[in-house]
Amino acid sequence: MSVRSSRRGRDDSSELEQLRRQCDELRVSLESMRVYYEDLLGSLQDAIVVVDPGGRIRSVNQAAEELIGLSAQPLHDRPFEQAFPHDRPLQELVRKTLESGRTHTDFDARLTGLDGSQVVVSAVGSLIREAGGEARGVVVALRDQTRIRDLEERLARSDRLAVLGTVAAGVAHEIRNPLAGLRGAAQLLEGESGFPPTFKEYTSVIIKEVDRLASIVETLLSFASPRALSFRPCNLHEILDGLVFLEQAPLRDRGVSVQRVYDPQLPEILADSAEIHQVFLNLIRNGVEAMPGGGELTLRTRYERSSQRCGGLSVAVAEIVDQGTGFDPEIERHLFTPFFTTKEGGTGLGLAICLRIVEDHRGAMEATSQPGKGSSFRVLLPLAKQPGPAAQEGLRTS
Ligand SMILES: Nc1ncnc2c1ncn2[C@@H]1O[C@H](COP(=O)(O)OP(=O)(O)OP(=O)(O)O)[C@@H](O)[C@H]1O
Ligand SMILES: [Mg+2]
């Protein structure tokens, strides 16, 4: 081997060595960039799904995994449409963003979970471009809107209730006195010396119907007028047991047996016991009315340390479960609307009153049903003693 060729060999190998080093450095810096971007995506509260121009999923951050209920791995490299087969608006969003190159937004998209449950999300699709301008893919940012929608709904409902309350109070007030007059006149008629006994049938109908109207008016007034609540630590089980005792005759007559599944460690709630009594009386009556042929009514209680629905407060959850007719989604939307009733002779105020009382206690109500099989009404009520920093907030209600 000549001196020249051996020198060239040395030059080549040192060049190769240098290239290898540069390559290693590049790999390290690429890896650290990858980790950096993954950390960045991971730290975002919004759910992020990155889709390539062919419509395949390239990246899913932790918030997205939590929202979808699936880990990123099985989603990686899957076509977006296969990963979200039930969510057409989201598929459309990705398609439109890729086709138009513009950002698209859907404030009211639905995301279907593995168990079929739906989450309302706001979705934004933005195009990512190469330096040369061609599309590299779409970033889909999803934000869970359930809580915001829930709050909006509650706000709208309390606005409606406030207006309705004022109108109802006015009307009820005006009706109360004439009703008393009608009843009095019917009684006077009955007392007249020449009053034919055969007409008694009619006057008793007048008196009975006037009494029924008066009781509706009283319910309306109690619903509409502001009351001074007196909050004290109360034992929820004592309230429920007292009700079962009071209602034993109608329960027996309707062939309804009561099953109590109590959490023996349940702490006291902070409540106006008369009002809470009213809540469970309405719920038990509804349960019984939903089972015309009898059945089982279950009263279940449990403790929840931090309830999302009640701003993180510790709550007692009481559930009233019946085996009755249940209700369909259309009825479910109106359950708590005043005067909504499907019952002959019902006022439709029972659940509206329950909700108003429970919200005055900073609690919450939920209802679920399997039509034809039964319903479950859950009442969440803040505890008298709140562990940790929520304590002061919780007790401020009193
Ligand atoms: N446990 C239940 N099972 C099935 N449907 C129910 C149940 N509870 C309530 N509902 C439905 O919700 C409606 C409203 O209930 P709510 O208690 O407000 O009024 P109501 O029972 O109809 O009348 P009121 O309580 O004044 O006698 C009912 O008419 C019924 O359609
Ligand atoms: Mg009712």
What the chain holds in terms of domains, given with CATH numbers, is 3-145 (3.30.450.20), 146-226 (1.10.287), 228-398 (3.30.565.10)
CB 56 within 8 Å of CB 139: no
Q: What residue owns the CA closest to ligand 1's atom 22? A: 341
Q: Convert the pLDDT of each residue in 196-219 to its tens digit.
A: 989 999 999 999 999 988 888 887
Mean pLDDT over residues 241-252, rounded?
A: 94
Q: Which of 67-81, 187-201, 254-268, 323-337 has the highest mean pLDDT?
A: 254-268
CA 286 – ligand 1 centroid, Å: 6
Between 65-79, 266-280, 291-305, the lowest mean confidence (pLDDT) is in 65-79
Helices and strands per DSSP (H, E), number in the chain = 13, 12
Between 142-151, 184-193, 290-299, the lowest mean confidence (pLDDT) is in 142-151
CA 342 – ligand 1 centroid, Å: 7
> Which ligand 1 atom minimizes the distance to the CA of 353?
18
In the block, residue with structure tokens 């989604």: 329
Distance CA 48, CA 44 (A): 8
Q: Which of 343, 354, 355, 357 has most ligand 1 atoms within 8 Å of its beta carbon, as the pocket-test mutant?
A: 343
Distance CA 390, CA 230 (A): 21
Q: Which residues surround ligand 2, an ion (CB under 5 A)?
A: 286, 350
Quote the pLDDT of residue 49. Answer: 93
pTM of the prediction?
Answer: 0.63
Instruction: Please tell me if the CB atom of residue 287 comes closer than 6 angstroms to any atom of ligand 1.
Output: yes
Q: How confident is the model at residue 15 (pLDDT cuts 50, 70, 90)?
A: confident
Q: Please name the residues in contact with 266: beta carbons below 8 A apart, sequence gap of 6 or more.
A: 236, 237, 301, 302, 303, 316
Q: How confident is the model at residue 10 (pLDDT cuts 50, 70, 90)?
A: confident
Between 65-74, 136-145, 206-215, 286-295, the lowest mean confidence (pLDDT) is in 65-74
Query: Quick one: DSSP state of residue 337?
Result: S
Instruction: Please tell me if the CB atom of residue 350 comes closer than 6 angstroms to any atom of ligand 1.
Output: yes
Rounded to the nearest integer, the mean pLDDT of the chain is 87
Is it the case that residue 288 has pLDDT exceeding 70?
Answer: yes
